[in-house]
Amino acid sequence: MKLRTKILWISCLAVLAATLISGGMILGMTAENLKNEAVLKAYQDFYELTGQMNNGLTNINQSEMIQTWLEYFFKTNVNTDNQRGDYTICFYRKDQKSDGSHYKEIYNHTSLSAEELYHLEYKFYSDGFGKSEMQYAGHSYIVFCYDKVPDIFVYRIQDMNSVLGRIRQLGIYIAAITALVITFTILILYFLLKRVLLPLQELNETTKCLAEGDYHQRVIVRSKDEIGQLEESFNKMAEAVENSTQELAESERRKTLFMGNLTHELKTPMTAISGYAQTLLNVKLDREDEEEALHYIYEECGRLERLSKKMMKLLELDQDTSLNLTDIPVCRLFEAAERSCEAILKEKDVRLEILENGEHFLMDMDLMTDVMINLIDNSVKASEKGGRIMLRAYDRCIEVQDFGRGIPEEEKEKIMEPFYMIDKSRSRKSGGAGLGLALTAVILKQHNISLKIESQVGEGTRMILQFV
């Protein structure tokens, strides 16, 4: 069963129960009031009638005169054409025999006898009035009696069917109103729930799309209530899932590319080493060619060693290991980088100019030295013979600037990827494998340092390290 149907049924049952309870209470109280009102009216009329009768009997002593007067009194004071079924009856006890009393009917428009009325169970009051209930010929009656005057019995019979009919009619009205209330409740709830639960239905459909792999789906946030908050949370979750999926896909792509490039980088020196080794084993060479082959094997083995070290360093740093950072003067960092790069600077006759004013930053000395070496090495490769490289520190920045070939705009985002090289032939000739800047990016990330690249083709490149 759908949620909307469940809520609709529960709400209708709750409204029905509330309506029935309130309707039943209203009907019960109204019925009691109608009955009490009819009984009170009949009692008041009966009380006034008996009062008039008592006043008229005050000056009459003879029994024959009493009977005659009573007949006259009831004929002139009681409506004989009673359409409501309300009757007044008067009996006079003429004599009392051993087998019972003998009553004379003074006034009686019913088929009831004195004995039948006399033997009803009455609840008497102190002023001679009594009340009882009676069922006769399918009708319900209230019977009042008055016996305070000796030998005179006066009864008032009140038919309650008219009152019960009004109560039944009221019950029918309440039932009809209840049916209308339930009908309107169902209609209103149906359209309200359809509107209110529409976001949940859309959320359900969008969830199915996400489960099927369509991570671009989002729901429209229409309100700021709990459902709106749920929609916002769902959109955030969907965005996080999409980003995570994209990151996983990108990571998988990078891993595949990484392994392909690694295989290619390893294959080139291994092929050369294998070829020269087979030549040395199978061909008789003179001393000069043999030394040249051995020298080439040595250089390629060195290249493999450097490649493996950078690979191990890259994999080690990529595990999000925490670093122990210390406050290091920039002059020490620059001196260590200059010593390490002295050979390549002399080889290409490139001048390194250092500018610093006593700055110091939190860093890992060894790792940041690797960063500076990689940046200086790339600048040397990009510079012409006899060029210069500037190494500067200012504010919260370290800058490495060369005046060489520069980096094309479309290459700036790619140079930090492993094995990516702008000029692959020249880089391989200089012993590069495209891992230097990738290693630099990982080290800078560990230090929470941002790298900004400014470059113009033919004018040079500025690599700016921004410390937090």
- Cβ distance 31 to 170 under 8 Å? yes
Measured CA to CA, the distance from residue 419 to residue 242 in angstroms comes to: 28
pLDDT computed for residue 433 by the predictor: 44
Contact (Cβ atoms closer than 8 angstroms) between residue 199 and residue 3:
no
Ramachandran category for residue 236: left, alpha or beta (phi over 0 → left; psi -120 to 50 → alpha): alpha
The DSSP element (H or E) to which 393 belongs, if any, is strand 388-394
Task: Tell me how long the chain is.
Answer: 468
Residue 247 CB neighbour total at 10 angstroms: 10
Burial classification of residue 230, based on how many CB atoms lie within 10 Å of its CB (0-12 exposed, 13-18 middle, 19 or more buried):
middle
Handedness of CA 267, 268, 270, 272 (dihedral sign): positive
Residues 6+ positions from 336 with CB-CB distance below 8 Å: 365, 369, 372
Instruction: Tell me the H-state helices in 91-197.
Output: 114-118, 161-196
Report how far apart, in Å, the C-alpha atoms of 430 and of each of 49, 176, 411, 434 are. 135, 98, 20, 11
pLDDT score at 427: 45
Which pLDDT belongs to residue 398?
93
Which residues, at least 6 apart from 414, have a Cβ–Cβ distance to it below 8 Å? 420
Structure confidence at residue 422 (pLDDT): 47
What's the average pLDDT block by block, 10 residues per block, for the chain (468 residues)?
Answer: 76 85 89 90 90 86 82 81 70 68 85 88 86 88 90 90 87 88 84 77 80 79 78 82 81 66 60 78 82 79 68 59 81 88 86 91 85 87 90 92 85 63 47 62 84 88 90
pLDDT of residue 332: 92
pLDDT at res. 426: 46
Reduced to 3 states, what is the DSSP secondary structure of residue 203?
helix
Question: Residues 248-269, buried b or exposed e (16+ Cβ, 10 A)?
Answer: eeeeeeeeeebeebbeebbeeb
pLDDT in tens, 354-371: 999 989 999 888 778 878
Q: How far is CA 92 from CA 82, 86, 153, 244, 410, in A?
A: 23, 21, 6, 107, 128
Question: Could you tell me the two tokens for 82?
Answer: 């009673």
CA distances from 252 to 108, 255, 257, 258, 317 (A): 111, 5, 8, 9, 18
User: What distance in Å separates the CA atoms of residue 343 and residue 352, rounded to the nearest whole number?
Assistant: 12
Q: Is the pTM of this model over 0.85?
A: no
Among candidate residues 36, 159, 148, the one with its CA nearest the CA of residue 87: 159
| DSSP secondary structure of 247-303 | HHHHHHHHHHHHHHHHHHHHHHHHHHHHHHHHHHHHS---HHHHHHHHHHHHHHHHH
Distance between CA 332 and CA 132 in Å, rounded? 119
Question: For residue 277, how many C-alpha atoms fall within 13 Å in the half-sphere facing its CB?
Answer: 10
Q: To 10 degrees, what angle do helices 330-340 and 365-382 make?
A: 50
Q: What tens digit of pLDDT does each residue of 90-130 get?
A: 998 876 655 556 888 889 888 888 888 888 999 987 788 99
Contact 102, 94 (CB under 8 A): yes
Does residue 255 contact residue 283 with C-beta atoms inside 8 Å? no
Cα 22-23-24 angle, rounded to 5 deg: 90
Question: How far, in Å, CA of 353 to CA of 347, rounded?
Answer: 17
In sequence order, what are the residues at sequence separation of 6 or more whose Cβ sits closer than 8 angstroms to the Cβ of residue 181? 15, 19
- What is the pLDDT at residue 339? 85
